[in-house]
């Protein structure tokens, strides 16, 4: 797995374009007053233009690290260091493009096994160096960047060589897996044996098992498979006091759960080298169907009623009207037949008395034996119908399923044209979701007005639970040009985050805290909650060598 | 809710007897060489025979506590203090009966609201007193007893006045509930509104919501409803740095989860005053059916295959052959018709070629709409049949359902006759359960042999998960009379616990650590795991005022 672009998302040879999507340029023109048909003018700097300080790596430390992981796996290469400087938050992308790099890691280390990870941590602690674990580098919360004023040597530990499925226990449906493996490679190795982990976050192609665990990740099929917090049973973590071994037992009452302390720990407790996770046989049948609801209220209510019913779909997702409009605008050039169908559909919906501006697109997935898929679908569609929803068949769902991992590339496309776009997601009880949504809409629109910039804000519900769901917001602005665009971005992002915590929701559903969300932590988990997290992190890492500054100071 | 007997389990007017169970006395005679038809001679001491030291409660502290909770709720009554001295582990029962009470709490406090709990904790910290939260006092892990050498004032905080369901949110299916409420009262208040929490541990009648949370409890229907760790969403906990407030969001990625740190914390982080928990509508239909399997291996395999299938029963439980024999022996006097039926059944089973000594009794439950119950039952019974199992209808299941909360009384019945009996439970991956079972059988039998005493050891599987299940062992011995019976008890209990951790299983599935299991903690969660738990507990409670000595030193 090659590293991502140093200045943007994903593979070097993949990028987002409006050219094969005839509706998109007019849509963005209307939404953001931005003409994307003009080539982008805000290109990133060239690598050799960057002002990257020389690495500071005392000889004794370098020697110890080379002994620990092997000399060829201690890299001070400039590109390597630049790629490992930070993750892929909007703020990260902008600063990388600008060459704004106050603290580049001094070396990138690539341990090949747990013993190497242990030895490197010992060497780092001995030299009072900072150790930052690095999985896919897809963090959008600032979780992999050194603190700007860090005076100690900074070591980015790339876990990518630990990329093997070590064992599958078919009886227990557990797989022992090295933590540095990327999503696609993990699924390939599991798939060869007929298994899947069923964890598909949007970052899937560029994120790792260890990263998912360190940030409490969720995937599009988590309704059925569980979040990574549910999937992860056993763990091996190299900590300052040795290798933490969590047994892969299904449930235990051994005091406050150490397993759960590692989940979401963002590298502050140690280097996750291995996990034993729940896997399932690849399902004999799998469907993701598209549905339309007359409006957001009905779409939300349908998802809530499905969660309270005996139906158990594998995916539940509904977009609000703005996101529905965006989805339609990103459709690729339709065939003449598609056009006819689409006209017929519009006619039908108008006859039903729908306001097409309010219409909401939904995807619901079903998995398992053919009998079960039929049953789940029948149970679910009864509820969909009760809320005025209608099926639009399998092609939209298939399309979504295929292109979902391409979405992150759009930020670079917009940044080339100077427009920052990003996501913020939360979760709340079902009874509060309507209020949270309204509060975030108001906050976002308020921020656009305050800045006097064109902005777009859209949302979908995903990840249904017993008692609530995730609301996932995406926003973009065309900056005024009067201020630093990052400042304007920050006004919007902050308004949304503040609306989350003010309305009783959480600061993040599955993107973790890092530095981006740290300022809302106390408002979310309360002062005593912060004290408990501090007690755990500071007590485990008294020298503050492990990814300091993330989650809490 | 009246407190339990100071010397034993449960209500003053309830006790276990063999008299209505014609097979039981002969069974125990054979299993333990113990004649239970003779009245017990080992009665507990009388209350006034106890040597209870006067309470040590400095005037300033007493004044502050009276101000905090109200003078009538600061009790130094002898019975009150004796009842709150410890929980109901076998060791607890024996020592209470003997009047062996090295450290009786100096006062029992009963806060009526969260503000009172806050004030009492502040007063206790100010005076450097020890605070031990007390729910139902049903702990069998030593979680509510002061350390024997404790020199500081010891305050047992009985949460029983906090016994109300405050609110039910029908849209989110969440109930906000005070933590001191006992199981039956909780279900009564929820039931009035048509809801249930679905949490039914064996201790249900004498344990509280806060106690379930503090110990990571499981109930007989947890397969469907989830363990208490799944059910608990929001929390309010009075801690040394103020009131911890965990929002009742369905899922979040706010760093290591504070919610999960409170689960299993056994009073070491603070006083749990309130929780917001998942509730469900009472199901329209509910069945618990009995099944028989030809042997333990097939019973285990059936439970595993059910967990891996699309069937979702609400209860899965199978007893090994010794527990099956015990269950049959505790049947109440059968009618002549029962006898005929039972003979016919035996005949049938012999014709199938079953070895009746190996036969295993199982209970499987189904819940929901009538359609769903039928479907789940059909899916499940297909698997049962594949493993040679057969249905024996609803009466055994109903009987089990009715009498399950009476089981704990049997320990007092046996202790009256000098025989200690207790339980130890664990969990492990499906692939390991057979080995764990064999290892524990060998360890238990080895301990009986080593001691030269008659002993009985039996087991059931309960709580099926994706990747494994709980094995729940019950054991009893007739002591030799040559040593303290507690010493002999300890040899057996320790052998079983050691077999758990040696075979890769966990030290406890749902009874927590307390002091009883603390010596196996490091073998279970590894040294670095213990360090992390210590960091959390010591950092949150630097003065070691909150239930010191439990889980870790």
For residue B208, what is the DSSP state?
A: B
Q: How many residues can be counted in chain B?
A: 553
B253, A511: Cβ pair inside 8 Å? yes
Tally of CB atoms within 10 A around A150: 18
Query: A137 — alpha (psi -120 to 50), left (phi > 0) or beta?
Result: left
* Chain A residue nearest residue B225, CA to CA: A466
Q: What band does A44 get if pLDDT is binned at 50, 70 and 90?
A: very high
* Chain B residue nearest residue A269, CA to CA: B532
Write the CB contacts of B440 (distance below 8 Å, at least 6 apart in sequence). B426, B457, B459, B471, B473, B496, B499, B500, B503
Of B131, B153, B133, the residue nearest B60 (C-alpha): B153
pTM, 2 dp: 0.97
- What pLDDT, on a 0 to 100 scale, did the predictor assign at position A346? 84
- CA–CA dist B32, B456 (Å, integer): 7
pLDDT tens per residue across span B98-108: 999 989 999 99
For residue A459, what is the DSSP state?
A: E
User: 48-67 in B: which are within 8 Å (CB) of A?
Assistant: none
> Which two three-digit tokens encode residue A214?
């360190």
Option in A215, A241, A504 nearest B531 (CB): A241
Report how far apart, in Å, the C-alpha atoms of A138 and of each of A262, A265, A553 are: 19, 16, 22
Share of chain A above pLDDT 70, in %: 99
Q: Is the pLDDT of residue A2 over 70?
A: no
Share of chain B above pLDDT 70, in %: 99
* Chain B nearest C-alpha distance from A14 (Å): 30
- CA–CA dist B451, B488 (Å, integer): 7
pLDDT tens per residue across span A90-140: 999 999 999 999 899 999 999 999 999 999 999 999 999 999 999 999 999
pLDDT tens per residue across span A208-262: 999 999 999 999 999 999 999 999 999 999 999 999 999 999 999 999 999 999 9
pLDDT tens per residue across span A306-321: 999 999 999 999 999 9
User: 21-50 in A: which are within 8 Å (CB) of B?
Assistant: none
A533, B242: Cβ pair inside 8 Å? no
Write the CB contacts of A544 (distance below 8 Å, at least 6 apart in sequence). A538
Q: Which residues of B touch A172 (CB under 8 A)?
A: 429-432, 467-468
pLDDT tens per residue across span B359-395: 999 999 999 999 999 999 999 999 999 999 999 988 8
* Chain A nearest C-alpha distance from B528 (Å): 5
User: 458-487 in B: which are within 8 Å (CB) of A?
Assistant: 463, 465-470
pLDDT tens per residue across span B7-56: 999 998 899 999 989 999 999 999 999 999 998 889 999 999 999 999 99
Burial of B200 (0-12, 13-18, 19+ CB in 10 A): buried
- What pLDDT, on a 0 to 100 scale, did the predictor assign at position B2? 61
Of B275, B273, B271, the residue nearest B133 (C-alpha): B271
Alpha helices in A246-369 (DSSP H): 258-262, 296-308, 321-329, 336-351
User: 137-166 in B: which are within 8 Å (CB) of A?
Assistant: none
Q: Which residues of B touch A544 (CB under 8 A)?
A: none
**Contact status of A423 with chain B (Cβ, < 8 Å):** no
- What pLDDT, on a 0 to 100 scale, did the predictor assign at position A335? 66
Sheet-wide strand order for A107-109: A74-75, A107-109, A154-158, A130-134
Write the CB contacts of A267 (distance below 8 Å, at least 6 apart in sequence). A131, A132, A133, A143, A144, A214, A546, A547, A550
A429, B246: Cβ pair inside 8 Å? no
Q: Which residues of B touch A250 (CB under 8 A)?
A: 427-429, 465-470
Write the CB contacts of B359 (distance below 8 Å, at least 6 apart in sequence). B292, B293, B294, B295, B321, B324, B349
- What pLDDT, on a 0 to 100 scale, did the predictor assign at position B343? 82
Q: Which residues of B touch A301 (CB under 8 A)?
A: none
CA atoms within 13 A on the CB side of A545: 23
Option in A263, A508, A521 nearest B257 (CB): A263
- CA–CA dist A230, A216 (Å, integer): 10
**Contact status of B197 with chain A (Cβ, < 8 Å):** no
* Chain B nearest C-alpha distance from A533 (Å): 7
Q: What band does B347 get if pLDDT is binned at 50, 70 and 90?
A: confident
Of A100, A137, A96, the residue nearest A2 (C-alpha): A137
Report how far apart, in Å, the C-alpha atoms of B522 and of each of A1, A247, B534 are: 38, 12, 12
Burial readout B99-138 (b: 16 or more C-beta within 10 A, e: otherwise) = bebebbbbbbbbbeebebbbbbbebbeebebbbbbbbbbb
B256, A237: Cβ pair inside 8 Å? no
* Chain A residue nearest residue B312, CA to CA: A310
pLDDT tens per residue across span A66-99: 999 999 999 999 999 999 999 999 999 999 999 9
Q: Which residues of A touch B525 (CB under 8 A)?
A: 245-247, 254, 258
- What pLDDT, on a 0 to 100 scale, did the predictor assign at position A352? 87
- CA–CA dist B337, B342 (Å, integer): 9
**Contact status of B552 with chain A (Cβ, < 8 Å):** yes
Report, as an integer, the average pLDDT of A396-402.
Answer: 76
Share of chain B above pLDDT 90, in %: 90
- Mutation site, A529, A531, A543, A549, interface B, largest B CB count within 10 A: A529
- What pLDDT, on a 0 to 100 scale, did the predictor assign at position B335? 66
Q: Is the pLDDT of residue B1 over 80?
A: no
- CA–CA dist A270, A132 (Å, integer): 9
User: 249-308 in B: which are within 8 Å (CB) of A?
Assistant: 249-258, 260-266, 269-270, 278, 304, 308
CA atoms within 13 A on the CB side of B75: 17
pLDDT tens per residue across span A509-551: 999 999 999 999 999 999 999 999 999 999 999 999 999 999 9
A246, B526: Cβ pair inside 8 Å? yes
- CA–CA dist B367, B382 (Å, integer): 18
Q: Is the pLDDT of residue A1 over 70?
A: no
């899922």: which residue's tokens? B251
B533, A255: Cβ pair inside 8 Å? yes
Q: Is the pLDDT of residue B3 over 80?
A: no
Confirm if B297 and B358 have CB atoms less than 8 A apart.
no
Mean of pLDDT over chain A = 95
pLDDT tens per residue across span A346-360: 888 888 899 999 999
Q: If residue B458 lies in a helix (H) or strand (E), which one and from where to where?
A: strand B455-464
ipTM score over 0.95, yes or no:
yes
Alpha helices in B196-351 (DSSP H): 209-215, 222-225, 228-231, 258-262, 296-308, 321-329, 336-351
> Which two three-digit tokens encode residue B479?
């002591």
Confirm if B24 and B330 have CB atoms less than 8 A apart.
yes
User: 355-374 in A: which are within 8 Å (CB) of B?
Assistant: 368-369, 372
Of A246, A276, A154, A237, the residue nearest A547 (C-alpha): A154
pLDDT tens per residue across span B465-507: 999 999 999 999 999 999 999 999 999 999 999 999 999 999 9
**Contact status of B383 with chain A (Cβ, < 8 Å):** no
Write the CB contacts of A188 (distance below 8 Å, at least 6 apart in sequence). none
Mean of pLDDT over chain B = 95
Q: Which residues of B touch A510 (CB under 8 A)?
A: 251, 253
């Amino acid at each position: 797995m090659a590293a991502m672009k140093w200045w943007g998302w994903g593979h070097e040879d993949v990028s987002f374009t409006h050219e094969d999507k005839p509706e998109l340029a007019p849509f963005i023109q209307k939404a953001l007053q931005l003409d994307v048909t003009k080539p982008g003018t805000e290109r990133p700097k060239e690598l050799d233009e960057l002002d990257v300080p020389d690495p500071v790596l005392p000889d004794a430390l370098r020697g110890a690290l080379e002994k620990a992981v092997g000399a060829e796996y201690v890299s001070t290469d400039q590109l390597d260091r630049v790629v490992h400087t930070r993750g892929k938050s909007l703020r990260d992308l902008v600063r990388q493009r600008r060459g704004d790099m106050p603290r580049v890691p001094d070396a990138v280390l690539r341990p090949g096994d747990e013993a190497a990870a242990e030895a490197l941590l010992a060497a780092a602690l001995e030299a009072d160096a900072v150790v930052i674990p690095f999985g896919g580098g897809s963090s959008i919360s600032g979780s992999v960047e050194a603190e700007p004023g860090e005076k100690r040597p900074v070591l980015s530990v790339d876990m990518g060589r630990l990329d093997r499925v070590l064992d599958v226990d078919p009886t227990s449906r557990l797989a022992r897996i090295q933590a540095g493996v990327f999503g696609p490679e993990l699924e390939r190795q599991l798939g060869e044996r007929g298994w899947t982990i069923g964890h598909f976050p949007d970052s899937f192609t560029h994120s790792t098992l260890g990263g998912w665990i360190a940030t409490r990740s969720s995937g599009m099929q988590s309704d059925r498979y569980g979040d990574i917090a549910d999937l992860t049973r056993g763990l091996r973590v190299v900590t300052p006091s040795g290798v933490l071994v969590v047994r892969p037992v299904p449930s235990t009452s051994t005091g406050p759960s150490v397993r759960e302390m590692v989940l979401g720990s963002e590298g502050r407790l140690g280097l996750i080298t291995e996990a034993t996770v729940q896997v399932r046989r690849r399902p004999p049948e799998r469907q993701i169907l598209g549905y339309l609801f007359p409006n957001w209220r009905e779409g939300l209510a349908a998802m809530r009623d499905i969660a309270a019913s005996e139906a158990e779909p594998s995916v539940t997702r509904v977009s609000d009207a703005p996101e529905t409009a965006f989805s339609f605008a990103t459709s690729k050039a339709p065939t003449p037949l598609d056009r006819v169908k689409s006209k017929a559909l519009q006619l039908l919906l108008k006859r039903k008395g729908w306001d097409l501006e309010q219409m909401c697109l939904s995807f619901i997935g079903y998995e398992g034996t053919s009998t079960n898929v039929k049953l789940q679908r029948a149970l679910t569609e009864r509820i969909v119908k009760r809320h005025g929803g209608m099926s639009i068949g399998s092609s939209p769902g298939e399309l979504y399923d295929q292109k979902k991992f391409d979405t992150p590339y759009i930020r670079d496309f917009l940044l080339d044209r100077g427009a920052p776009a990003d996501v913020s997601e939360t979760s709340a009880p079902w009874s509060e979701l309507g209020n949270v949504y309204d509060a975030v809409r108001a906050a976002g629109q308020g921020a656009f007005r305050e800045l006097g910039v064109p902005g777009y804000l859209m949302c979908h519900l995903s990840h249904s639970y017993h008692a609530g769901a995730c609301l996932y917001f995406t926003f973009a602005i065309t900056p005024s040009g009067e201020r630093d665009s990052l400042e304007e971005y920050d006004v919007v992002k902050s308004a949304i985050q503040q609306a989350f915590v003010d309305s009783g929701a959480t600061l993040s559903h599955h993107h973790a805290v890092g530095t981006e969300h740290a300022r809302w932590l106390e408002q979310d988990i309360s002062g005593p909650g912060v004290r408990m997290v501090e007690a755990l992190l500071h007590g485990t890492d008294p020298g503050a060598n492990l990814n300091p500054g993330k989650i809490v100071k």
